[in-house]
Amino acid sequence: MRAKGRCATLIAAGLSLVLAACAGESSAEDGQIEITVWHTESTPTTVEAMNEIIADYEAANPGVTVTQESVAWGDLQVKLQAALAAGDLPEITQVEPMFVRSLYAQDLLQPLDEVVDSLGEDYLPQLREMFALPDGHDYGVVHAWGTDSVVYRADLYANAAGTGTPEDVKTWEDSVEQWSAVSEANDDAHGLMLAGDAAHNVNEEVYQWLGSNGGHLFDENGHVTIDTQEMREVLEYWVELRDSGALSPAWSSQPYADSLSALALGEAATIFSFGRATYTFEDQAPDLVPGEDIKVAPNRPVGPSGDDWITQLDAEPWVVFRDSPDAEASADFLKFFYEQQNYLRWIGSVPTQLLPVRGSTFDDPAYRALPEVGTWSFWIDQQRETLASGRALPLMVTQPSDLELPYLSDLYGSEILVDMVMDVVENDKDIDEALNVAQGRADELLSPLYED
């Protein structure tokens, strides 16, 4: 009898839990402005900085509620697709540069001219041009930027006497020779570590290496081109890096974060990395001296068919969705975000990763006073040089006109390029066959989306 009573109580408790949960959902107070912001800067300090900015904005604008949601980087695309399909978009979000055209093509974006104007003449032109679309309006404003750099351990290179450093490397051939020599000279370290665990990182290398070999993913008609001589050479280079012992065999399962640890812990002498890595280095290898043991090269190696190298520009823009009744207010919030004292909080949360979008900020004493900016100034300067040189291009873009194609992210998400690389480098498939297969799959995927 007692057991039965307890059972009934349990069920009743469970039911009331469910009912309470369902009742708790209705929110939406009328007449209020509600702005939801999605971003991919999930570092706790950055989230905290955004909280402060939001608190100040809400204090200055009664009746407005701003909510931020930080999305893990790899999930933004899935989440955005889901939200698009559900018609449940946030007011403001960061997106990959390649995705702006897709959204614009569907007439989903609010022009952000006033936000760009508020940034002034000082807004770096390389950033502005990406999202100043032919209709004369700006549809995205970069929140902060960085470039992918060749980061290396000078101390490990010194063990391989006479091979020089990545700064001396001109061609892919040089790099294979040098990095394998570094592997030879160090017992536990390999010359190069790549992050091959996530499809994202493999895509990154493919387009950057292809672009550094004079190749393109899309021809003048915007049609995908994979089975080219330039791409063949990319794959051959990859195989050579593997066969020569330059590339760590752990690369194919290495998450990006672990590749940074590999450099810090002395398992790799060279990685390709963005500035956030400084935190990993300071945390895991506090004894290494920035600028002496850990250095960045101002250049990258160039492929046999290329004249110059390219690298990745990480510069997600804020975009605002026009369907929301609060789209105007959202633009106003962004203007507030870019006001210098607020903006410094944002970029000051991870200064080596989030470089300012206004050139003058680099000379702002408040910016210069940030400790990371002092310690890692050589890396920040290198990124500025790279951006100014025009060699930094966003993900999947080997030439600026690629940004006009609304289906870059389909190719990016398809893993066609990743499969090709893994088949050749890890599974010893024939290069020509892999190129053919990849071309066939990409044609099938993208041809229904071509304009002609």
Partner 1 sequence: MTTALRRVARVRWYLLIGIVVLVLVNGFPFYWMALTSVKPGTELFSFPPRFFTTAPDFSGFERLFETTNFLTYAKNSLIIATGATVVSVAVSALAAYGLTRFPFPGSRAFSTAILYAYTFAPIVIVVPLYGMFREVGLINSYLGMILAYASFGVPFSLWLLQPFFRAIPAELEEAAFVDGANRAKSAWYVVLPQAAPGLIAVSVFTFLLAWEDYLFARVLITQEELKTLPIALHDLYNASLQDWPLLMAAAVLINVPVLIAFLFVQRYLVAGWGAGAIK
Partner 2 sequence: MPGWFWGALLLSPAFFLVLGVIAAPIAYLVRLSFTDAHAYLPKFGSVGFDNYVALLRAPHFWDSVRTTVWYAGLTVGLQLVLGVLIALLLHQRFRGRGVVRLVALAPYMVPSIVVALVWRWLLDPTTGAYSWAIDKVWPGSEPPNLLSPSFIFWSLVVVSVWMFTPFIVISVLARLQTIDPSTLEAATVDGAGAWRRFWSIVLPELKPVLYTLILLRFMFMFTKFDVVYLFAGTGTEVRTLPVLTFQRIFGEARLGSGAAVAMILFVLLMIFTTVYLRTLYRQREETA
What is the binding site for partner 1 (CB under 8 A)? 3-4, 7, 11, 14-15, 17-18, 21-22, 25, 42-44, 69-75, 78-79, 82-83, 85-88, 255-258, 261, 265, 276, 279-280, 283-284
Kind and range of the H or E element at 152?
A: strand 149-153
The listed partner (partner 1, partner 2, none) that binds 84, CB under 5 to 8 Å by sort, is partner 2
Distance CA 418, CA 176 (A): 22
**Residues 95-124, interacting with partner 2 (CB under 8 A):** 102, 105-106
CB of 222 to partner 2, least distance (A): 15
**The sheet that has 190-193: what strands, in order across it?**
190-193, 268-273, 149-153, 294-297
Enter the DSSP assignment of 319.
Answer: E
Q: Rule CB under 8 A: say whether 409 interacts with partner 2.
A: yes
The listed partner (partner 1, partner 2, none) that binds 389, CB under 5 to 8 Å by sort, is none
At 143, list the tokens: 């929140």
The listed partner (partner 2, partner 1, none) that binds 15, CB under 5 to 8 Å by sort, is partner 1
Q: Rule CB under 8 A: say whether 278 interacts with partner 2.
A: no
Angle between helices 199-211 and 416-425 (to 10 degrees): 80
**C-beta neighbour count of 87 within 10 angstroms:** 7
Q: Rule CB under 8 A: say whether 418 interacts with partner 2.
A: yes
Closest by CA to 202, choosing from 246, 251, 132, 243, is: 251
The listed partner (partner 2, partner 1, none) that binds 11, CB under 5 to 8 Å by sort, is partner 1
Stretch of 55-63, 75-83, 284-292, 327-335 contacting partner 2, by CB under 8 A: 75-83
Q: Which is nearer to partner 1, 257 or 289 (CB)?
A: 257
Angle between helices 277-284 and 256-264 (to 10 degrees): 40
For residue 366, give every residue at least 6 positions away whose Cβ sits within 8 Å of its Cβ, in sequence order, or none.
344
At 305, list the tokens: 């068919």
Closest by CA to 270, choosing from 363, 195, 198, is: 195
The listed partner (partner 1, partner 2, none) that binds 161, CB under 5 to 8 Å by sort, is none
**The sheet that has 92-94: what strands, in order across it?**
64-70, 33-39, 92-94, 317-320, 141-142
Distance CA 50, CA 94 (A): 14
Q: Rule CB under 8 A: say whether 184 interacts with partner 2.
A: no
CA 252 to the chain's CA centroid: 19
Cα-based torsion angle of the residue sequence 259, 261, 265, 268 in order, rounded to the nearest 10 degrees: 10
Q: What is the largest CA-CA distance in the chain?
A: 87
CB of 77 to partner 1, least distance (A): 12
Q: Which is nearer to partner 2, 10 or 105 (CB)?
A: 105
Q: Which is nearer to partner 2, 254 or 361 (CB)?
A: 254
Residue pair 300/212 in contact by the 8 Å Cβ criterion:
yes
Enter the DSSP assignment of 316.
Answer: P
Q: Which is nearer to partner 2, 373 or 417 (CB)?
A: 417
CB of 446 to partner 1, least distance (A): 21
**Candidate residues 14, 249, 374, 390; the one interacting with partner 2 per rule CB under 8 A:** 249
The listed partner (partner 1, partner 2, none) that binds 427, CB under 5 to 8 Å by sort, is partner 2
**Candidate residues 187, 221, 427, 452; the one interacting with partner 2 per rule CB under 8 A:** 427
The listed partner (partner 2, partner 1, none) that binds 346, CB under 5 to 8 Å by sort, is none
CB of 328 to partner 1, least distance (A): 24
Q: Which is nearer to partner 2, 369 or 449 (CB)?
A: 449
Distance CA 111, CA 451 (A): 24
Enter the DSSP assignment of 395.
Answer: T
Q: Which is nearer to partner 1, 31 or 87 (CB)?
A: 87
CB of 348 to partner 2, least distance (A): 32
Residues making contact with partner 2 (CB under 8 A): 77-78, 80-81, 84-85, 102, 105-106, 197-199, 249-250, 252-253, 258, 262, 265, 267, 406, 409-410, 413-415, 418-419, 422-423, 426-427, 437, 441, 444-445, 448-449
